[in-house]
Amino acid sequence: MAANTPFKKLSCKVCKQWKIDRTGKAKGTCCGSPAILSENWYVRVTTRGRTITKSVSPRKRDAEDYIANCKTASRQGVLLPGQEKDITWEKAAKNCMQWWEDAVATGDMRQATADHYKFRLVALNDFFQGKTLLTITKGDMKDYRTSRAKEGRAPATINHELKSVKRIYVMHVERTSSDESPRLCAKAVDIASVDLVKKDDKKVRFLTEDEIRHLLECATTPLVRIATLLSLNTGLRRSNVLELTWKEVRLSRKVIELPAEKMKSRKDHTVDIPGHLIDQLKQWRSDNKVTPFLFPDATCRAPITNFRQEWDKTVEAAGFTDVTYHTLRHTFASQFLMAGGDLSTLSEILAHADISITKNIYGHLSREHKRKATDEFAAAFLSKF
């Protein structure tokens, strides 16, 4: 590749001929009228037997940087700056939606995960429409973060959306090479460095024994009560509970066996069913013999879809304003630790991908329990000395 030094064009507006001016200050006349000096600096690059002349910028430094980037690209054997095809945000979003559906079809992604990503696109599309993957900047990401915060969105929601943007870049980079898309790869790294919203370092909300009794008393239907008991006694997520089939609930063995495709960790998972819950599940099964699902919809051919409404009624009747269904999972984990359980076992029960996740969420409870146990031990034994 050959590249010359930057220059400006000294053009005649009559005959349209132009001359090269490397000083950027030349003056002259042609066809009886003053020649016009171009505002932008130009570069001339020869690569693979083809010479191109490109207008870069009013700043000479930008033109010099462009020549340097061309030389670097030539040495690395990648595309020259400007040759890489850009992707509109709309096209990128459409691509990802198709890739998520393909992943669901092949079993590499749960439908709930794909739906989660699609849901996040709703707000993102409104903000990033008209932009391209190469023109989106870290400043745009920060502006989005700020605008969503002003709308009153929770830090967790904003972070989910920011992660979705980063995921879109990663998915496109994974389907190309650094030779074909050097700028996209660099942009993906740049976007990945955008900081997420800092969350308030507050303890998780969990129910006390009295609150659990009150919530169960306020359950609007037997279905809500059974679903609540299942999460309270197993720590299962809402999606896992509501999509349960009787084939997965092994009452004779007192376990629930969930296949990998239903798990967030993408691994098979088995959880024990407490003995006191077995009789209630047997009674529930006898009342719902016509369906393979524990919690069927009106057709009895698919899992329930309107559970949210019944759950909201129960929470409202109980007078709780800060309780969600996921609070039941937190309650199981918190009560487990406060009863003397350890983090390693809890991590396995909750099917966390790594014990660090369990420590980040519930580590403070484990520390409190250890401190209490140490104090009791000291009072009962060490105080003798």
Instruction: Indicate whether 354 and 222 sit together in one domain.
Output: yes
CA distance 224 to 153: 28
- Residue 162: what pLDDT? 94
- Residue 240: what pLDDT? 93
- Residue 241: what pLDDT? 94
- Residue 159: what pLDDT? 92
Q: Work out how many domains the chain is built from and give that number.
A: 3
Instruction: Indicate whether 240 and 349 sit together in one domain.
Output: yes
CA distance 367 to 200: 20
Domain of 143, in residue numbers: 89-192
Instruction: Indicate whether 129 and 23 sit together in one domain.
Output: no
Query: What pTM was estimated for this model as a whole?
Result: 0.59
Distances in whole angstroms, Cα of residue 280 to Cα of each of 111, 213, 222, 230, 357? 30, 16, 10, 10, 32
CA distance 107 to 121: 22
- Beta-carbon contacts of residue 207 (< 8 Å; ≥ 6 apart): 215, 323, 327, 328, 331
Instruction: Indicate whether 56 and 114 sit together in one domain.
Output: no
Evaluate the CA torsion angle 83, 89, 94, 100 in order and state its sign: positive
Instruction: Indicate whether 241 and 372 sit together in one domain.
Output: yes
CATH number at residue 343: 1.10.443.10
- Residue 379: what pLDDT? 62
Instruction: Indicate whether 354 and 239 sit together in one domain.
Output: yes
Evaluate the CA torsion angle 341, 344, 348, 354 in order and state its sign: positive
In a domain, 202, yes or no: no
- Residue 112: what pLDDT? 78
Low-confidence spans in the chain with pLDDT less than 50: 1
Instruction: Indicate whether 59 and 96 sit together in one domain.
Output: no
Q: Tell me the pLDDT tens digit for each residue of 313-323.
A: 999 999 998 89
Instruction: Indicate whether 226 and 333 sit together in one domain.
Output: yes
- Residue 356: what pLDDT? 86
In a domain, 203, yes or no: no
Q: Tell me the pLDDT tens digit for each residue of 21-73.
A: 888 888 888 888 888 889 999 988 876 667 778 888 899 988 888 888 777 77
In a domain, 126, yes or no: yes
Spell out the SS3 assignment of the chain. CEECCCEEEEECCCCCCEEEECCCCCCCEECCEECEECCCEEEEEEECCEEEEEEEECCHHHHHHHHHHHHHHHHHCCCCCCCCCCCEHHHHHHHHHHHHHHHHHCCCCCHHHHHHHHHHHHHHHHHHCCCECCCCCHHHHHHHHHHHHHCCCCHHHHHHHHHHHHHHHHHHHHCCCCCCCHHHHHHHHHHHCCCCCCCCCCCCCCCCHHHHHHHHHCCCCHHHHHHHHHHHHHCCCHHHHHCCECCCEECCCCEEEECHHHCCCCCCEEEECCHHHHHHHHHHHHHCCCCCECCECCCCCCECCCHHHHHHHHHHHHCCCCCCCHHHHHHHHHHHHHCCCCHHHHHHHHCCCCHHHHHHHHHHHHHHHHHHHHHHHHHHCHHHC
Instruction: Indicate whether 291 and 161 sit together in one domain.
Output: no
Instruction: Indicate whether 217 and 359 sit together in one domain.
Output: yes
Instruction: Indicate whether 273 and 339 sit together in one domain.
Output: yes
Instruction: Indicate whether 17 and 141 sit together in one domain.
Output: no
Tokens 């972070």, residue located = 159
